[in-house]
Amino acid sequence: MYYSASSRIAFYHVHKTGGTSVKVFLRTCLSDLHAVDYWPHHPMVVYLDILARRGVDTTQLRLLATVRDPLEHVVSIYHFWRTKGRGAGRDHIQMARDLPFSEFVRYYVTCRHPDCRVYDELLEVGGTVPPGLRILRLEHLVPDMERILNHEWGIDVPVSFPHSNASEHGPASEHYDPETARLVRERYAWVYRQGLYL
């Protein structure tokens, strides 16, 4: 998580959802944005606890997080771990390197390693989404960010994003058969129930 005390904005970075690009953009308009902790992918509740221990009233935070279509998300994770992940002692990364995609999906949807958490396991605090959290969809990042930053929060900044830390892979649809798509949709059921994706 990244935090700006001057704006009371905190950005929670879900891996492989455009978070690096969002962080780079936010640093251009929030000069005091800084990492809350050295590890960027704890569940949100961990960072809120850290900030609360530092005296920040977390109930007053304006929280941002990005998500992406679950089928795209798993493809991006697979290719990132396969090519750039540090695998020493990390079975999930080794599985991405060793397995074809369909077998990796079967592994991933049952994996309980912290790196395999899905959106609700990362974003919910006490079983609910914090009231100050605004969830941005990677596929609609510019209009979603403009709506929240400029119209809802009154920050008034031009919104654009660099393309950072992207995984190289073909269209997600080419990776799936009906069964692997079903497995991913079931694992990510929460984001569909939220109405963010169909």
Residue 193 corresponds to which tokens in the numbers above? 């129930």
pTM of this structure: 0.93
Using 50, 70 and 90 to split pLDDT, how confident is the model at 19? Answer: very high
Domain range enclosing 33: 2-193
Tally the domains of the chain.
1
- Whether residue 66 is contained in a domain is answered as yes
- Whether residue 169 is contained in a domain is answered as yes
Question: CA 66 to CA 191: how far, in whole Å?
Answer: 12
- Whether residue 63 is contained in a domain is answered as yes
Using 50, 70 and 90 to split pLDDT, how confident is the model at 40? Answer: confident
| Higher per-residue pLDDT: 88 or 153 | 153
- Whether residue 11 is contained in a domain is answered as yes
Read off φ and ψ for residue 32, nearest 5 degrees: -95, 10
Residue type, 154: G
Give the chain's mean pLDDT: 94
CATH number at residue 150: 3.40.50
- Whether residue 198 is contained in a domain is answered as no
Q: What is the 3 state secondary structure string of the chain?
A: CEEECCCCEEEECCCCCCHHHHHHHHHHHCCCCEECCCCCCCCHHHHHHHHHHCCCCHHHCEEEEEECCHHHHHHHHHHHHHHCCCCCCCHHHHHHHHCCHHHHHHHHCCCCCHHHCCHHHHHCECCECCCCEEEEEHHHHHHHHHHHHHHHCCCCCCCCCCCCCCCCCCCHHHHCCHHHHHHHHHHCHHHHHCCCCC
- 57-71, 110-124, 165-179, range with the lowest pLDDT: 165-179
